[in-house]
Amino acid sequence: MDSSVTDNGISTFELSKSYRDFRAVDSLSLKVEGGEVFGFLGPNGAGKTTTIRMLCGLMAPTAGSAKVGGFDVRREGLKVRAIVGLLPERSGFYNWMNAEEYLLHFASLYNIEAQEGRRRTKELLERVGLAEKSFAPIGYYSRGMKQRLALARTLINKPRIVFLDEPTLGLDPRGQQDIRTMLREINDGGVTVFLSSHALSEVSSLCDRVAIVDRGRLIAQGTIEELRRLAGDSRSLTVRVEDSESAAKRISALPYPAASWSQKTEGGFIEVELRDGSHSASEVIQTFEKQGLEIYEIRRQEMTLEQVFFHLTESDPADGKEARGQGPPPGAA
């Protein structure tokens, strides 16, 4: 992240969007620093796409305020749209056009001078690996090729901030890797990246900070380590012993509550996961030895982002309240 960037940030204060009696986004307050990669997570229907559309100046908020790159999304929507790039979950294409025609068309919509538009088009097609296929009709492109082209279109106006809604959805592993590499390159150039994705391993590897929303409301925001602490990360202990009939019987007699541990057999070993982080490694070793179990390996594990996500978005449908993760989120605006 380029810390010198100061005017490419995003901030919202109690941003809301309602449709009659349904509130899609509910009093959302976010703070995204300029030049960072910010992850925006939530279950389907949590209000992520609606939030992105408001931040891009494509949809008016019902209440609250937001600034993108220093511009107010209500009063300065045109200025917002001039400095942002949007890669939606589903992109529309003119399948009769080729890639070069397609990008030149969008360059003209941004009033980019023709010669400059041709230069940017050539540069972007090289960058996304489509230069050799630039004259083929888009209708013949694979899903991965179309996603690369959509990313090139997102960058045609040299945006200061890019919004990406499920950028690797439906791509094969190679395509996903290529998109991630391009996002890192974009961010290395000082561009703020606002990333919404269900690929939590992708978010974990790319993002400086993350916000989690559910039912339109902010559950938490902060670094992944801060979210782990908020989720009560117990840093579970995993113990490996050699698999045998006697070992299985001895494990079943371990003096731990049934709900606090689990086991699985893998590669000639039995792995026992103790989810209660209050146990010290020395205590666990003594307990296993008392049962006549010889430990092959013992290690402590942090909660994955997926585990944090499920923990913080657990809720009780009966009362409409988030069951966990309540209280002031780390780094909340």
Q: How high is the pLDDT of residue 223?
A: 92
Q: Is-contact 68 51, C-beta < 8 A? A: no
Both tokens of residue 82?
């001039």
Q: What is the distance between the alpha carbons of residues 118 and 93, in angstroms, rounded to a whole number?
A: 19
* Nearest of 201, 202, 223 to residue 212 by alpha carbon: 223
Report the 10 Å Cβ neighbour count for 264. Answer: 10
Q: How high is the pLDDT of residue 220?
A: 93
Q: What is the distance between the alpha carbons of residues 43 and 151, in angstroms, rounded to a whole number?
A: 24
Q: What is the distance between the alpha carbons of residues 203 and 196, in angstroms, rounded to a whole number?
A: 8
User: Where exactly does CATH 3.30.70 map onto the chain?
Assistant: 236-301
Which CATH superfamily is 10-229 part of? P-loop containing nucleotide triphosphate hydrolases (3.40.50.300)
User: Where exactly does CATH 3.40.50.300 map onto the chain?
Assistant: 10-229
* Nearest of 298, 312, 300, 299 to residue 228 by alpha carbon: 312
267 φ, ψ (degrees, to nearest 5): 60, 40
- For residue range 159-199, what is the model confidence (pLDDT) as tens digits? 999 999 989 887 888 888 888 999 999 999 999 999 998 88
What Cα–Cα distance (Å) separates residue 223 from each residue in 21, 162, 228? Answer: 34, 20, 9
* Nearest of 229, 217, 196 to residue 311 by alpha carbon: 229
Q: Is-contact 285 298, C-beta < 8 A? A: yes
Q: What is the DSSP letter of 98?
A: B
Q: What is the distance between the alpha carbons of residues 322 and 314, in angstroms, rounded to a whole number?
A: 6
Q: What is the pTM of this model?
A: 0.76
Q: How high is the pLDDT of residue 231?
A: 80
Q: What is the distance between the alpha carbons of residues 80 and 58, in angstroms, rounded to a whole number?
A: 10
295-301/269-274 β-pairing: unpaired
What residues are paired with 242 via a beta bridge?
A: 269
Q: How high is the pLDDT of residue 184?
A: 93
Query: What is 236-301's CATH topology?
Result: Alpha-Beta Plaits (3.30.70)
What does R_g of the chain's alpha carbons equal in angstroms? 24
Which residue numbers in the chain have pLDDT < 70? Answer: 1-6, 233-234, 277-278, 315-333
Q: Is-contact 156 112, C-beta < 8 A? A: yes
Give helix 143-154 / helix 99-109 axis angle, nearest 10°: 30
Single-letter residue type at 284:
V
